[in-house]
Amino acid sequence: MSRFQSFHVGRIILGVAAFALFSALVYPSLAEETNSTADETTAARDLARMHSGAKIDYITPDGRLLAVPTAGQKDSSATALIMDDDTLSCPLQEGDTTFIISFPKTSQLDHFTFVNENAAVQGEMKIAVSNDRLPADSPKWTEVSGRTAFTSKRFFNLSMVGVEARYVKLSFHVEKGGHVAGLGLFGGASLEKYAKR
C-alpha cells in the first residue's frame, strides 16, 4: 500500500511541476497579449467626447459659428448634436460645413470615423490639424488627408496614425445634402506623455 501511495504522490508532484512549467511558459505570453490589448484599447478611445473635455464648434454653410450642444442640453435650434453615446449627429446641407474639435491638450490621433446615413449624399471631406487655435479659414492648418469622396458609401474609417494635434478641422464640401452620424475621432496619449514615462 505504501508503494501505491508513493506512486500516487509522485504523479501528483509530477503533475504540479508540469503545470508550473506550462504556466511559466504560457503566462508571460498571455500577459503580453493582455497588456498589448489594453494599450490598444487605451489608444483607441474616442477623443471627441464631451466628458473627455473636447469642445466642438460647427460652422454652417451660411458662415454661422455654433458650439455643438450635448443631447442633455435643451437647444431646439441646434442642428448638430452630441448624442447620448457621445457621438456627433448632424445634417449636412449643400455647401461647406466645418467642424473644429478642440482637445484639452495635444493628443496622438489614430483614426477618424463617421457614418453617412444617406447613401445619396454627394460630396467630399478633408481633415486638417493644428496645435494652435486658428481661424477655420487660416492657411496654417496642416492637411492630413487628401479629399475623401463620400458618395455611395456608408461607413468611413480614415487612418490618422502618427498625427498629433490639439485642434482638428473637418471640412465637408457637400453637393447633395444628407445626414452624418457616429462621428468619432480616436487616439490616445501624446508622444510627449510617453517620453515622460
Q: Which three cell numbers stand for residue 155?
A: 461607413
Are residues 64 and 75 part of one domain? yes
pLDDT of residue 173: 92
Are residues 52 and 32 part of one domain? no
Is the CB of residue 165 less than 8 Å from the CB of residue 186? no
pLDDT of residue 30: 36
Are residues 124 and 105 part of one domain? yes
pLDDT of residue 70: 52
pLDDT of residue 72: 52
pLDDT of residue 182: 73
Q: Residue 96: helix, strand or coil by DSSP? A: strand
Contacts of 102 (CB under 8 A, 6+ apart): 54, 55, 56, 57, 133, 166, 167
Are residues 170 and 119 part of one domain? yes
Are residues 159 and 86 part of one domain? yes
Q: Tell me: the pLDDT tens digits for 113-153?
A: 888 887 778 889 899 999 999 999 999 999 998 888 877 77
Are residues 191 and 133 part of one domain? yes
Handedness of CA 184, 44, 109, 149 (dihedral sign): negative
Are residues 54 and 28 part of one domain? no
Are residues 159 and 93 part of one domain? yes
Residue reference for cell 444628407: 178
DSSP 115-159: EES-TT-EEEEEEEEESS---TT-TT-EE-S--EE-SS--EEEEE
The reported pTM is 0.65
Are residues 105 and 68 part of one domain? yes
Is the CB of residue 103 less than 8 Å from the CB of residue 167? yes
CA angle 116, 86, 102 (to 5 degrees): 90
Is the CB of residue 169 less than 8 Å from the CB of residue 97? no
Segments forming the whole domain that contains residue 14: 1-43
Are residues 103 and 150 part of one domain? yes
Is the CB of residue 164 less than 8 Å from the CB of residue 150? no
Are residues 96 and 6 part of one domain? no
Are residues 50 and 22 part of one domain? no
Contacts of 135 (CB under 8 A, 6+ apart): none
Residue ranges in the chain whose pLDDT is less than 50: 4, 7-11, 13-43, 46-51, 71, 74-86, 194, 197
CATH code at position 158: 2.60.120.260
Indicate the number of domains in the chain: 2
